[in-house]
């Protein structure tokens, strides 16, 4: 249901076009001033007329169309304000929901594939708060694209290559304690690594030993690979536990080492295309013309680099998945890296370089959680943040609703949801200062507030039981109800915009609007115990709102319990 489309089709002038009018039509913030508004100055140039004259003209077209979806329209300066016929609009919305089998159903497969590289953790390194944004933005985009009918491919481009893994093996063989590693996992591996560097200060043989082990990994030595495999298993076991808590999934864990045998053809290709030059012994692609430092392809000893692997990975993804878009959800610190990679791909003659996008985001810091960071050194483990949030959620629930069934599970859904929403509620590029207390508040722009509103809808329905009435769209004509009708009609468009901008927060903002509108409706309009048609219709609206909140939260990786 997209009334804006209908309107655009009715009024679009020849040399402007439906799409442009559609894009310009904006919901009016004040529902008493109309439902959608068209700022006509946008077409002045194309039509060589004043905005006011255009607005008058389009109003006439609309009047003449006799479209029963429109109640009236009014020209205000250079703006055309359009009022829907509320009964008609409500009727259409519900008819469409019925046809669809629900207000929010995933779109048909488009056949297009979107690769999303996110989380992309490093082996034997802690999974910390710094990974929160990439993990949940990527995880959410994954669900958003699936909802929109794309074939989404979630890729965890593991950091599993580099000389440090040789050092890790040498440290492990010298001081490793399997029982400790079993117990403390990545933390124990990290300690080994720290110890290696401390001892290497005095023991000069260590560096060489580490290098030798790395060489063995490169040469495929079974012992080296076995130990390295163990590091990988331990790390993945830990992160997968967190992924499960967050509801994040991947289709591929092909990390940096996966491209070991896939770089040579790319290097040859670069050379054949005359793109490689020598610089201080290293082999690079000169990007000076494009205002960038050179992209490093091979070190002077012939070793490949992060960029070499990313080039091979992009080519592989194109060949293997034939993506329509190839997204990298990686911190803005790697801006230059991706600009270089995309430029090199372009210079190689790949027109799909334009389909590669760096979905950058800001930094996260945690307010007042000193305790969390000191317990395990100076990194804040994501798992610990989630634990703390769940514990706080449990305390809140104990205070508000101590007899709640399934308290543990709901506390987990609320606590984890609060953290995720905290990460997805503001524009991704902003640095984020995160406060657990604020995230868990039931008032304000939080997940618990949205979850609570959803649970409120479900409980109204439950309390009402079966109401013998019929759907009467005129019941939804008052401002509070109609605001909701309008919003529900914007769900799909909202998800599309979130995908276009790679910005799950578009959905977050929308859900906050829906929840606020529902709570106003709930306060002002009685639902239960009215004339049967009134109760019935308001309940129908309530369940649509619940469905929209649940689906929307789900696209943000957040659960919506029926009770809390
Ligand atoms: N492991 C990298 C890091 O921690 C992120 C990898 C991002 N993905 C990529 N294809 N480069 O910085």
Positions annotated as catalytic residues are: 125, 128, 131
Q: From the CB of residue 226, how many other CB atoms can be counted at a distance below 10 Å?
A: 10
Q: Tell me, what's the pLDDT at 12?
A: 93
DSSP structure string for 476-542: GGSHHHHHHHHHHHTHHHHHHHHHHTT-THHHHHHHHHHHHHHHHHHHHS--TTS-HHHHHHHHHHH
Give the whole-angstrom CA distance, residue 406 versus residue 416. Answer: 16
Q: How far is the CA of 330 from the centre of ligand 1 (A)?
A: 7
| Residue to substitute in 159, 311, 313 for testing ligand 1 pocket (most ligand atoms within 8 angstroms of CB) | 159
Give the whole-angstrom CA distance, residue 117 versus residue 314. Answer: 11
Q: Is the CB of 359 under 6 A from ligand 1?
A: no
Q: What is the distance in angstroms between the CA of the first residue and the CA of the last residue of the chain?
A: 32
Task: Retrieve residue 285's tokens.
Answer: 């692609």
Q: How far is the CA of 368 from the centre of ligand 1 (A)?
A: 28
Q: Is the CB of 276 under 6 A from ligand 1?
A: no
Q: Tell me, what's the pLDDT at 372?
A: 56
Q: How far is the CA of 162 from the centre of ligand 1 (A)?
A: 13
78 HSE (CA, 13 A, CB side): 9
Give the whole-angstrom CA distance, residue 319 versus residue 312. Answer: 11
* Nearest CA-CA partner of 551 in 105, 183, 19, 178: 105
Q: Tell me, what's the pLDDT at 39?
A: 96
Task: Retrieve residue 440's tokens.
Answer: 């868990």
Q: How far is the CA of 166 from the centre of ligand 1 (A)?
A: 20
| Residue to substitute in 334, 358, 359, 361 for testing ligand 1 pocket (most ligand atoms within 8 angstroms of CB) | 334
Read off the pTM: 0.94
Q: Is the CB of 328 under 6 A from ligand 1?
A: yes
Task: Retrieve residue 369's tokens.
Answer: 């959680």
Q: Tell me, what's the pLDDT at 374?
A: 45
**Tens-digit pLDDT profile for the chain (564 aa)?**
678 889 999 999 888 999 999 999 999 989 999 999 999 999 999 999 999 999 999 999 999 999 999 999 999 999 999 999 999 999 999 999 999 988 898 888 889 999 999 999 999 998 988 899 999 999 999 999 999 999 999 999 999 999 999 999 999 999 999 999 999 999 999 999 999 999 999 999 999 999 999 999 989 999 999 999 999 999 999 999 999 999 999 999 999 999 999 999 999 999 999 999 999 999 999 999 999 999 999 999 899 999 999 999 999 999 999 999 999 999 999 999 999 999 999 999 999 999 999 999 998 888 865 555 544 456 788 999 999 999 999 999 999 999 999 999 999 999 999 999 999 999 999 888 888 888 888 888 999 999 999 999 999 999 999 999 999 999 999 999 999 999 999 999 999 999 999 999 999 999 999 999 999 999 999 999 999 999 999 999 999 999 999 999 999 999 999 999
Give the whole-angstrom CA distance, residue 127 versus residue 132. Answer: 9
Tell the burial category of 520 from Cβ atoms under 10 Å away from its Cβ (0-12, 13-18, 19+).
Answer: middle
């Amino acid at each position: 249901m997209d009334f804006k489309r209908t309107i655009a089709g009715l009024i679009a002038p020849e040399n402007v076009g439906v799409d442009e009018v559609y894009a310009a039509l904006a919901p009016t913030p004040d529902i008493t001033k109309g439902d959608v508004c068209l700022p006509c100055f946008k077409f002045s140039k194309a039509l060589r007329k004043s905005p006011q004259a255009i607005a008058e003209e389009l109003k006439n077209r609309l009047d003449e169309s006799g479209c029963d979806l429109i109640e009236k329209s009014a020209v205000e300066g250079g703006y055309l304000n359009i009022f829907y016929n509320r009964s008609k609009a409500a009727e259409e919305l519900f008819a469409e929901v019925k046809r669809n089998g629900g207000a929010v159903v995933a779109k048909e497969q488009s056949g297009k594939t979107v690769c999303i590289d996110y989380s992309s953790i490093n082996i034997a390194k802690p999974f910390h708060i710094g990974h929160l944004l990439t993990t949940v933005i990527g995880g959410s985009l994954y669900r958003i694209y699936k909802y929109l009918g794309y074939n989404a491919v979630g890729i965890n481009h593991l950091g599993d290559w580099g000389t440090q893994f040789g050092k890790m093996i040498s440290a492990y063989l010298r001081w490793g304690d399997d029982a400790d590693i079993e117990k403390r996992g990545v933390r124990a591996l990290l300690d080994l690594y720290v110890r290696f560097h401390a001892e290497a200060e005095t023991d000069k043989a260590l560096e060489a030993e580490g290098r030798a082990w790395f060489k063995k990994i490169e040469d495929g030595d079974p012992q080296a690979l076995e130990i390295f495999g163990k590091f990988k298993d331990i790390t993945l076991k830990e992160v997968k536990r967190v992924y499960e808590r967050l509801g994040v999934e991947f289709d591929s864990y092909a990390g940096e080492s996966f491209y070991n045998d896939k770089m040579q053809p790319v290097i040859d290709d670069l050379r054949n295309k005359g793109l490689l030059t020598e610089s201080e012994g290293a082999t690079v692609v000169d990007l000076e013309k494009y205002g960038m430092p050179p992209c490093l392809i091979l070190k002077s000893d012939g070793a490949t680099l992060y960029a070499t692997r990313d080039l091979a990975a992009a080519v592989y993804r194109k060949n293997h998945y034939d993506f329509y878009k190839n997204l990298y959800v990686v911190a803005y610190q790697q801006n230059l890296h991706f600009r270089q990679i995309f430029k090199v791909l372009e210079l190689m003659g790949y027109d799909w370089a334009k389909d590669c996008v760096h979905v950058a985001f800001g930094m996260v810091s945690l307010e007042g959680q000193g305790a969390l960071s000191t317990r395990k050194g100076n990194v804040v483990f994501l798992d610990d943040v989630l634990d703390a949030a769940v514990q706080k959620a449990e305390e809140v629930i104990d205070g508000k609703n101590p007899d709640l069934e399934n308290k543990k599970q709901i506390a987990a859904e609320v606590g984890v949801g609060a953290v995720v929403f905290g990460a997805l509620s503001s524009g991704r590029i902003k640095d984020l200062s995160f406060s657990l207390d604020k995230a868990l508040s039931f008032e304000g722009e939080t997940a618990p507030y949205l979850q609570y509103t959803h649970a409120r809808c479900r409980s109204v329905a439950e309390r009402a039981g079966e109401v013998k009435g019929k759907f009467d769209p005129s019941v939804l004509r008052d401002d509070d109800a109609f605001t909701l009708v309008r919003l529900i009609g914007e769900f799909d468009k909202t998800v599309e915009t979130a995908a276009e901008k790679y910005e799950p927060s578009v959905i977050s903002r929308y859900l906050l609007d829906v929840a606020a509108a529902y709570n106003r409706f709930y306060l002002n309009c009685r639902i239960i115990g009215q004339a049967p048609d009134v109760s019935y219709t308001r309940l129908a609206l309530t369940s649509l709102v619940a469905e929209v909140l649940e689906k929307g939260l789900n696209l943000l990786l957040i659960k919506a319990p029926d009770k809390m």
